[in-house]
Amino acid sequence: MKIIVCVKQVPDTAATMAVENGNISWGDAPLIINPWDEFAVEAALNLVADQGGEVTALCLGKEEETEAIKHALAMGADAAVLVSDPALKGSDNVAASKVLAAAITKIGEVDLVLFGQQSVDTDTGLLPVQVARLLKWPSLTLVSKFEEVTPAENSLQVVRSMEEGNQIIKSLMPAVVSVTKDYGEPRYPSFMGIRKASKAEYPVWNLADLGIDLPSSSISWPEVNEPVEQEIVTEIIDGDTAEEKAKILVEKLIAEKVL
């Protein structure tokens, strides 16, 4: 099987975010692979371990943004592609998905494209379905389990989650799948994996390499702000016993009219 897994590089989730002169800053916090994407890499590696084939990590980002790719390679991905073009700065989701779709087409003969559930920086969760729509492939979102994968029949069956429960869905391949945390813990990169990844070479494609023009963007972000911190007055509830504290809290909650 040929599997592509899309990985993004983001600031550490523990970073303190700030806006300086209109630019978003995360101080000296490290950059990491989008945590959701580790589940997708894990799934891709397991599928290939079962079925044979290869995993290619695909990242769209700045040329110096190598951490997500390195992490995917260190986990065990066979190859990687970075798509980078200064013209893409400020692209919205639809534009980014057009670029990713073009890269997927250029890589070619793909059975599955795996995504994380969403980016922890922009929190949108749109690229998987948008890429699928552009490629005219079925999109299977929020998948926690691959029940059956039959490359010979170009089909797979997965468990997908929704608010009300799970859906067991069978689909033709090629398909796009976004993988959730319920899939299971991603592996830690091995020492050997990290060494291999640090030496790995991979192509960097720009828009000309993909043979596409700069896709237009509809969405712009004229303004980013740090949220106005609400002044929270914390009232510590005192009492000699647990019963007494509970009793006072009940009274406070009644007064606060939130019951």
Ligand X SMILES: Cc1cc2nc3c(=O)[nH]c(=O)nc-3n(C[C@H](O)[C@H](O)[C@H](O)COP(=O)(O)OP(=O)(O)OC[C@H]3O[C@@H](n4cnc5c(N)ncnc54)[C@H](O)[C@@H]3O)c2cc1C
Residue ranges that bind ligand AMP, judged by CB under 6 A: 6-8, 34, 36-37, 40, 58-61, 93, 115-116, 118-119, 122, 124-128
Return the one option of ligand AMP, ligand X, other proteins, none that residue 16 interacts with (CB less than 5 to 8 A, by type).
other proteins
Give yes or no for residue 138 binding ligand X (CB under 6 A). no
Q: How far is Cα 159 from Cα 86, in angstroms, rounded to an integer?
A: 39
Name which of residues 45 to 84 contact other proteins (CB under 8 A). Answer: none
Q: How far is Cα 88 from Cα 100, in angstroms, rounded to an integer?
A: 12
Return the one option of ligand AMP, other proteins, ligand X, none that residue 139 interacts with (CB less than 5 to 8 A, by type).
other proteins
Shortest distance (Å) from residue 87 CB to other proteins:
18
Please identify, using beta-carbon distances, which residue of 224 and 246 lies nearer to ligand AMP.
224
Name which of residues 5 to 44 contact ligand X (CB under 6 A). Answer: 13, 35
**152, 192, 208, 236: which one binds other proteins (CB under 8 A):** 236
* Residues 167, 160 contacting (CB under 8 angstroms): yes
Q: What residue type is 104 in one-letter code?
A: I
Shortest distance (Å) from residue 127 CB to ligand AMP:
4
Give yes or no for residue 130 binding other proteins (CB under 8 A). yes
| Alpha-carbon distances, residue 225 vs 18, 25, 93, 109, 156 (angstroms) | 8, 11, 21, 43, 44
Residue nearest to ligand AMP (CB): 116
Q: How far is Cα 61 from Cα 83, in angstroms, rounded to an integer?
A: 6
Cβ-based burial of 106 (10 A; exposed 0-12, middle 13-18, buried ≥19)? middle
Count of residues in the chain: 259
Q: How far is Cα 69 from Cα 9, in angstroms, rounded to an integer?
A: 8
Q: How far is Cα 43 from Cα 49, in angstroms, rounded to an integer?
A: 10
Please identify, using beta-carbon distances, which residue of 15 and 169 lies nearer to ligand X.
15
* Residues 160, 143 contacting (CB under 8 angstroms): yes
Shortest distance (Å) from residue 198 CB to other proteins:
27
Per-residue x/- track, 178-197, other proteins (CB under 8 A): --xxx---------------
Q: How far is Cα 214 from Cα 207, in angstroms, rounded to an integer?
A: 7
Return the one option of ligand X, other proteins, ligand AMP, none that residue 233 interacts with (CB less than 5 to 8 A, by type).
other proteins
In the complex, which residues of this chain contact ligand X (CB under 6 A)? 13, 35
